[in-house]
Amino acid sequence: MTVIEGEQLHRLLNQYRSAEIRGAGVILRLGRLCDTSELRSNFTKHLRDEGVHAWMWARALNDLGWDIEDVEDPYQQKLGSAFGMPRTVEDLLALTLVSERRGVASYEEHLGMADNPKVVDQTLRAILKDERWHVDWIADELMRRAEDAPGVAEALARAEQADLDVTAQLRSDMGL
């Protein structure tokens, strides 16, 4: 198993915090695309979760005695640039689903690493409960929409390719 510690862990936790903040910002800015009450409700809960997750990472960084630092070009920003501006609710859902899946995969991978500080494992476990719900509700919504909105498959394919490109770049930049 991989071990991430010291400055590399410090950078990664700040990346996580920034990703949660940027995720909340995307939902806040693009929530106007929502076209049903249920979608607005789910995105509102999702927005709340993202803010809480950012705070949880800030608390973990504080507990470890590390500075909370802004990340200039985090995952969400890179993903948005690679995908382009979502124009439809289906674009927003596809982009958010791919981002949430990436978050779950990254957090699960990190949870499986040896020698994580206890506060990191606790934070990962707590956040993963919400992240899995995010993936489930968005995937369900996209499946419902796919029958009537022909652009769902194309939006999802574009989002998945953007994620692959961005993730490879970030891993290289962080030395992972």
Q: Are 46 and 134 in contact (CB under 8 A)?
A: yes
Tell if the pTM clears 0.75, that is, is over it.
Answer: yes
Q: Residue 1: its pLDDT value, please?
A: 46
User: What is the rounded distance in angstroms from the CA atom of residue 40 to the CA atom of residue 164?
Assistant: 28
pLDDT digits (tens, 9 = 90+) for 88-136: 899 999 999 999 999 999 999 999 888 899 999 999 999 999 999 999 9
Burial class (CB in 10 A: 0-12, 13-18, 19+), 162: buried
pLDDT digits (tens, 9 = 90+) for 60-69: 999 999 999 9
Q: Residue 73: its pLDDT value, please?
A: 77
User: What is the rounded distance in angstroms from the CA atom of residue 121 to the CA atom of residue 127?
Assistant: 10
Q: At how many degrees (to 10) do helices 152-174 and 6-30 cross?
A: 150
